[in-house]
Amino acid sequence: MKLELRNVTKRFPGVIANDSVDLTVESGEILGLLGENGAGKTTLMNILYGLYSADEGEIVIDDRVVDFQGPGDAIAAGVGMVHQHFMLVPVFTVTENVVLGVEPTKAPVGTIDLKEARLELEGISRQYGLDIDPSATVEDLPVGIQQRIEIIKVLFRDAEIIVFDEPTSVLTPQEVEEIFNIVNGLKEAGKGIIFITHKLGEVLRVADRIAVLRRGKIVGEADPRTATKEELAEMMVGRPVDLVVDKEPAQPGDVVLSVVDLVVRDERQHTAVDDVSFEVRAGEIVGIAGVQGNGQTELVEALTGLTVPLSGRVILNGNDVTLASPRDLHENAVAHIPEDRQRSGLILDFDVAENIVLDSYYAKPYSRGIRMDWDYAHQHADELIEQYDIRTPSSHVNAGNLSGGNQQKLIVAREFARDTKLIIASQPTRGIDVGSIEYIHSRIVEERDEGAAVLIVSSELEEILALADRILVMYRGKIVAEVPGEEATASQLGLYMAGSAA
Amino acid sequence: MTEETITKKEAPEPDRPRWLEAIAPSSVDWKTVVVIPLLAVLSALIIGAVIIVLTDGFGAVLPAYSALFQGAFVGWSSISETLLVATPLILAGLSVAVGFQAGLFNIGAEGQMTIGGLTAVIVGFSIEGMPAVIHLPLAVIAGILGGALWGFIPGVLRAKTGAHEVITTIMLNFIAYRTLDYMLKLPGIQKEGRFDPVSEDVLGSARYPRILGWLPVEGAEGLRLNLGFIVALAMALFIYWLLFKSTIGFEFRAVGANPSAAKYGGISVVVAIVGVMSLAGGLSGMAGANETLGVLGRATPGFTAQIGFDAIALALLGRSHPGGVVLSAILFGALRAGGRAMQFQSDVGIDLIVVIQALIIVFIAAPELVRAIYGVKGGKKQGQVTRGWST
C-alpha cells in the first residue's frame, strides 16, 4: 500500500498550520516525521486520520484519491494511529479495550463474542512479539504495555499504514528500545510506518527516510544513514543550533540545600520518597535522573513546600525549612520551575503580567496594602519579556496563547529575575522547542556560575547528561546511584534507572 | 502555534486611546462578552413570542410585549419599579459572581439572603431612639454578617473537608428557610398581636429612604426606589475594584482559574475559599437586608422570592463581571416590573417572564447554539461556564 499526501494545506484563523505538504509512505518502510512542537505535525496527522479536513490538497491511497470524513473512514482505508495520549478505558481488560467500537458479535441477538476476539488478539500478539495478557485490566499495566495495547488496537483493525505520534515521550529508556524493536517488526511484516518525533536521536535510529516539518512546511528530507544531529536540528529550527551546553567545571561552594532522611507519601498514602538524603552546594548543578513516577514529583513537592513530608528534614542555608510554605521558601530565594507548566506553573487564563507576579504580587513594589499596582507589574513584565526573549505581542496577552517554549521562558523569567540561592527545576524543558531548550539550559548554567545551587529533575537523560555536575538516580523512591556528571554515560544511567544495577 | 502567527493574531490595534483601552480593553473578546448575551436575550424573546402565539393567538404578541416594555421603561414609575426590583438582584448577582470568579458555585444566595434579611430586621426593629445615619448602617451590617456566616459555613466545609459547595449551599437554603419560619413565630420577633409569622416592623430609622421624591412629577412621593439601589451600585464598583485591582481579588481569581498554580504561587487556597464564600454570603445578606429594610419593612416567610436563584442566572448572563451583573440585573428587573404590567394589561401571565428568563440562560449556557443560529464567527470557544462536580 502507498499513502500520499499531496499539497495539503490547513488554515486556522490567523495561522497556516500546514502549508502545501507533500508526503509519501509505502508498505515496508519507516518515515520519520521530525518537527518541533507547534510545527504542524499533529494537525497533519489529524488530517490524515480524518479528524480535520484539509482546506486544499488531497490524500491518495494506491493512486486513488480518498476523502476521510472521520477516523472511521481512515481506519476502513487501512490507516491506524497510535496516539501520544492513550485512548484506553482504565477499568476495562485488554481485550475489551481492543474490541471497543468493533466488537465481534454472535448470532442470534448480537451478544459480544469476547472469546473470538481474544483468540484473534492472541494471534496478533504472537505474530508481532507483543507479549501481552489479554485478560489484564488496563489500569494495572505499566505505560509501555498500555502503548502495546494501542498498537494491537490498530492491528486488530487491519491497519496497513500506522502513525506513531511521539511514542517515546512516556517511556523508559528500556521501553524505548522495545518500541524500536516493535516498530521494526511491523516494518518487516510489511506495514508502512509514520514515526512522529521531535527527538533527533530517535529519528536517526529508527527511520528509513526523514522528512522535516517547520512552521507547517516540509523544509527538507534527509537520509538517516548520512545525516547528523546537527544538520537535522538546523533544518528543524531554521538556524544552527548548539546541541552541547557550554559550561566550565563546577566550583562547588557551601552546602545550600541539605536533605536528610526524607520520607514523603503520595496522595494515596504510598511511600513515594523513601529515606532520601543528599546535598546541593552553591555553584553546582545536581541532576536527579529517573523514569517518571519514581518519587521525583513528590520529592520536589516536599522541597518546595507543596506537601508536608512524613519524616526527615530539609535544611536551607542552615535553617530547617521542612515545614516551610511555598511563600516562605520564595522569600528565602528559592526558585521553582514546576514539572507541569500548564497545571501548576502558570494560570493560562491570566495575562503575562499577572503570571509574572504570581508568587510576588503580595508585596512591594507590585502592591501596597491590598492595592495592586498593575501599571508597575506590566512595566516589570515588559522588561522581562525583553530580557528573557519571551515572544509575545505584549504583557496583556494571556499565557495560554503563548507557545510552550515561551510559556516556559515566562516561568524561568519569573523565577530567575529575583535573587536566587537555590533553583529547583523539574522537567525544565519538557515538550518545548530546541531554541528554547538551548536558551533555558544556558540560563541555568549562568545561574550556577553566579553561585546558585541548582537541582534539576528530569526524565530526559540527555538533559541530565548535558547539565548536571553530579547525577543522582532515583528508583522506587530511593536514590540508587550517584555518578559524577563528566563520567556518566546514558547506558549506565539507563540501567540504574531500571533498578537493575542498584 | 508558531510565534509569528500569534503576533499577527493578538496584536492590539495601534493608536487606541488610553481611555478606550481602560473601559474596553482590546484583550477582551467582545463577541463572547456582549454579542452572545444580547443574542441570547433576543432569542428568548422570540421564543416567548411563539409561546404567546400558541396560547393566545397572533394578536396577543404586540400588546403583551408593548405592555412589557412600557411597564419596564416608560415613565418614572416604571423606571423606579425596574430599578427597585433590580437592586437585590445586583447584590445577590454579585454574590454568585464572586463565587464563580473563584471557581465556586454559590447556590446558597437564597439562604444567605434569608439569614441576612432576618438579622437586619432584628437590629432594625429592636434598637430604638437611634439616628438613621447610625441605625441604618448598623442594620445593614447585621445583614452582611448574617449572610456572611451563611457563606462561611459552606466555605469552611469545602476548604477543610472537600464537601462540595453546591450540595452544602442548597441544604443551607432549606435550613435558612425553616429557621426564618421558626424565628418569625418567636415572641420578641413576631409582631405583637399577630398569629401569622410576620416580624415586627423595622423602625423608620433603619429603613432605606426613598430617593425619587424630589422629582417634579405627579406622584413622585409614591416612587418606591430607595437608597438601597445606590448602595448596590457602590457595592458593584467596590467588588470590581476588589476583584481586579486588589491583591485579594488576584488571589480569589487565581484560585478560581487554577488552584494548583495558586498554591504554587504561595496563595492559601483554604483562606481564599473561606474568604470568597464569606464575601459572597455577605453580599447576599445585603440583598436580603435590602428587601427587609427597603421594600417590605419587615420579614415574612419566603421574602427572598427566589431572587437568590435568579441571581445565578444573571451572574451567568453577566459573565461574572460586576458590570455585567449590574446590566443583567437591570434587564431582569425590567422583565419583572414589565411583566407585572403585562399581566395587568393583557391576557399574558407573568409566568411567561420566568420562561423567558430560563430561555436566556439556556442560550447563555449553550453559546455554540447561538453562534450556529446567528452565524456568529470567531471569538473564543467557551463551553463550560462553571467547573464540574468533581473538581
| pLDDT, tens only, B293-324 | 999 999 999 999 999 999 999 999 998 999 99
- Span B133-137, mean pLDDT? 96
Number of domains in chain A: 2
Cα–Cα separations (whole angstroms), residue B162 to A343, B59, B158, B272, B343: 20, 55, 4, 14, 46
Instruction: Answer yes or no: do B186 and B278 share one domain.
Output: yes
Q: Which residue has the higher pLDDT, A365 or A84?
A: A365
Instruction: Answer yes or no: do B164 and B243 share one domain.
Output: yes
Q: How far apart are CA A82 and CA A164, in angstroms?
A: 5
Instruction: Answer yes or no: do A181 and A278 share one domain.
Output: no
Instruction: Answer yes or no: do B306 and B367 share one domain.
Output: no
**Which residues from B are below 8 Å from A when comparing CB atoms?**
1-12, 25-27, 245-248, 250, 253-254, 257-258, 260-266, 378
Q: What is the mean pLDDT of chain A?
A: 90
**Cα dihedral B97, B103, B106, B112 sign:** negative
Query: Is the pLDDT at A160 greater than 80, yes or no?
Result: yes
Say which residue the cell 404567546 belongs to. B52
Q: Cell for A43?
A: 494537525
Contact at CB, A372 and B261, closer than 8 angstroms = no
For residue A256, give every residue at least 6 positions away whose Cβ sits within 8 Å of its Cβ, in sequence order, or none. A280, A281, A282, A316, A317, A421, A422, A453
Q: What pLDDT, on the 0 to 100 scale, is given for residue A502?
A: 47
Contact at CB, A346 and B261, closer than 8 angstroms = yes
How many residue pairs bridge chain A and chain B with CB atoms within 8 Å of each other? 109
> Does residue B385 sit within a domain?
no
Choose the closest CB to A361 out of B1, B250, B260: B250
Q: What pLDDT, on the 0 to 100 scale, is given for residue B18?
A: 62
Instruction: Answer yes or no: do B118 and B143 share one domain.
Output: yes
**Which alpha helices (H) appear in chain B, and where do they start and end?**
3-10, 18-23, 30, 36-56, 61-73, 76-101, 109-126, 132-156, 165-183, 227-245, 247-257, 259-264, 269-290, 307-317, 322-345, 351-365, 367-374
State the pLDDT confidence band at B381, using cuts at 50, 70 and 90. very low
Q: Given A211, A237, A263, which residue is the final one in a domain?
A: A237
First vs last Cα of chain A: how many Å apart? Answer: 47
**Per residue in A40-79, pLDDT tens?**
888 898 899 998 889 999 999 999 999 999 888 999 999 9
Q: How far apart are CA B299 and CA B118, in angstroms?
A: 6
State the pLDDT confidence band at B87, using cuts at 50, 70 and 90. very high
- Span A300-311, mean pLDDT? 95
Instruction: Answer yes or no: do B310 and B204 share one domain.
Output: yes
Contact at CB, B254 and A358, closer than 8 angstroms = yes
**Which alpha helices (H) appear in A338-467, and where do they start and end?**
352-356, 374-387, 404-416, 434-449, 461-467
> Does residue B4 sit within a domain?
no
Contact B287, B84 (CB under 8 A): no
Instruction: Answer yes or no: do B126 and B237 share one domain.
Output: yes
Secondary structure class of A129 (helix, strand, coil):
coil
State the pLDDT confidence band at B13, using cuts at 50, 70 and 90. very low
Contact B86, B335 (CB under 8 A): no
Pick from A358, A385, A414 the residue to mutate for testing the B interface (most B CBs within 10 Å): A358
> Does residue B171 sit within a domain?
yes
State the pLDDT confidence band at B1, using cuts at 50, 70 and 90. very low
- Nearest 10 degrees: CA dihedral of A176, A178, A180, A184? -170
- Span A191-213, mean pLDDT? 92
Instruction: Answer yes or no: do B93 and B172 share one domain.
Output: yes
Query: Is the pLDDT at A285 greater than 70, yes or no?
Result: yes
- Span A406-418, mean pLDDT? 94
> Does residue B297 sit within a domain?
yes
Instruction: Answer yes or no: do A359 and A486 share one domain.
Output: yes
* CATH number for the domain harbouring residue A280: 3.40.50.300
Roughly what angle, to the nearest 10 degrees, separates helices B351-365 and B307-317? 40
Instruction: Answer yes or no: do B173 and B47 share one domain.
Output: no
> Does residue A303 sit within a domain?
yes
> Does residue B323 sit within a domain?
no
Instruction: Answer yes or no: do A284 and A413 share one domain.
Output: yes
Secondary structure class of A288 (helix, strand, coil):
strand
Contact B290, B145 (CB under 8 A): no
Written in H, E and C, the secondary structure of A47-79 is HHCCCCCCCEEEEEECCEEECCCCHHHHHHCCE
Contact at CB, A13 and B9, closer than 8 angstroms = yes
Q: How far apart are CA A469 and CA A454, in angstroms?
A: 10
Q: Given B286, B317, B348, which residue is the final one in a domain?
A: B317
Instruction: Answer yes or no: do A229 and A262 share one domain.
Output: no
Q: Given A173, A207, A237, which residue is the final one in a domain?
A: A237
Choose the closest CB to A326 out of B250, B258, B264: B264
Query: Is the pLDDT at B379 greater than 80, yes or no?
Result: no
Q: Which residue has the higher pLDDT, A84 or B241?
A: B241
Instruction: Answer yes or no: do A121 and A84 share one domain.
Output: yes
Distance in Å, alpha carbon of B267 to nearest chain A alpha carbon: 8
Instruction: Answer yes or no: do A330 and A429 share one domain.
Output: yes
**Per residue in A245-255, pLDDT tens?**
888 889 999 99
- Span A13-29, mean pLDDT? 89
Instruction: Answer yes or no: do A260 and A396 share one domain.
Output: yes
Please report which helix (H) or strand (E) contains residue A98, including its range: helix A94-99
> Does residue A28 sit within a domain?
yes
Please name the amino acid found at residue A141: L
Q: How far apart are CA A112 and CA A96, in angstroms?
A: 10
Instruction: Answer yes or no: do A27 and A66 share one domain.
Output: yes
> Does residue A502 sit within a domain?
no
Distance in Å, alpha carbon of B242 to nearest chain A alpha carbon: 9
The Cα angle at residue A13 between residues A12 and A17, in degrees rounded to 5: 30
Instruction: Answer yes or no: do B126 and B203 share one domain.
Output: yes
**Per residue in A105-136, pLDDT tens?**
887 888 888 888 899 899 998 888 888 889 99
Measured in whole angstroms, the distance separating CA B368 from the mean position of its chain's CA atoms is 25
Contact at CB, B265 and A359, closer than 8 angstroms = yes
Say which residue the cell 500478539 belongs to. A125
**Per residue in A345-376, pLDDT tens?**
999 999 999 999 999 999 989 999 999 999 99
Q: Phi and psi dihedrals of A68, rounded to 5?
A: -90, 120
Nearest to A303 by CA among A314, A294, A295: A314
Contact at CB, A346 and B8, closer than 8 angstroms = no
Per cent of chain B over pLDDT 90 is 73
Cα–Cα separations (whole angstroms), residue A301 to A1, A266, A356: 50, 10, 21
**Per residue in B14-36, pLDDT tens?**
456 666 655 555 556 677 778 88
Nearest to B292 by CA among B91, B108, B97, B98: B91
Nearest to A355 by CA among A377, A333, A340: A377
Q: Cell for A193?
A: 510506518
Instruction: Answer yes or no: do A181 and A267 share one domain.
Output: no
Contact at CB, B257 and A347, closer than 8 angstroms = yes
Instruction: Answer yes or no: do B232 and B335 share one domain.
Output: no
Instruction: Answer yes or no: do B184 and B288 share one domain.
Output: yes
Q: What pLDDT, on the 0 to 100 scale, is given for residue B28?
A: 63
Q: What pLDDT, on the 0 to 100 scale, is given for residue A139?
A: 86
Q: Cell for A339?
A: 514539572
Distance in Å, alpha carbon of A183 to nearest chain B alpha carbon: 30
Number of domains in chain B: 2
Pick from A15, A347, A395, A436 the residue to mutate for testing the B interface (most B CBs within 10 Å): A347
Least confident of A44-53, A313-322, B283-292, B367-376: B367-376
Q: What is the CA radius of gyration of chain B?
A: 22
Nearest C-alpha in B relative to A345: B261
Instruction: Answer yes or no: do B259 and B355 share one domain.
Output: no
Per cent of chain A over pLDDT 90 is 61
Beta-bridged to residue A12, according to DSSP, are A15
Range of the domain at A428: 255-497
> Does residue B60 sit within a domain?
yes
Nearest to A273 by CA among A461, A473, A475, A424: A475
State the pLDDT confidence band at A20, using cuts at 50, 70 and 90. very high
Q: How far apart are CA B68 and CA B71, in angstroms?
A: 5
Contact at CB, B3 and A406, closer than 8 angstroms = yes
Query: Is the pLDDT at A12 greater than 90, yes or no?
Result: no
Q: What pLDDT, on the 0 to 100 scale, is given for residue B27?
A: 56
State the pLDDT confidence band at B349, using cuts at 50, 70 and 90. confident
> Does residue B172 sit within a domain?
yes
For residue B312, give every residue at least 6 positions away whose Cβ sits within 8 Å of its Cβ, in sequence order, or none. B96, B107, B109
Range of the domain at B230: 85-213+223-317
- Nearest 10 degrees: CA dihedral of B316, B318, B320, B324? -170
> Does residue B62 sit within a domain?
yes
Instruction: Answer yes or no: do A397 and A486 share one domain.
Output: yes
For residue A237, give every residue at least 6 positions away whose Cβ sits within 8 Å of its Cβ, in sequence order, or none. A36, A214, A433, A434, A435
Instruction: Answer yes or no: do A25 and A159 share one domain.
Output: yes
Q: What pLDDT, on the 0 to 100 scale, is given for residue A380?
A: 96
Q: How far apart are CA A448 and CA A251, in angstroms?
A: 9
Q: Given A207, A237, A267, which residue is the final one in a domain?
A: A237
Instruction: Answer yes or no: do A105 and A222 share one domain.
Output: yes
Secondary structure class of B190 (helix, strand, coil):
strand
Query: Is the pLDDT at B10 greater than 60, yes or no?
Result: no
- Structure ipTM: 0.85
Find chain B residues with C-beta within 8 A of A435's C-beta: none
Choose the closest CB to B12 out of A306, A374, A394: A394
Least confident of A8-17, A211-220, A304-313, B102-111: A8-17
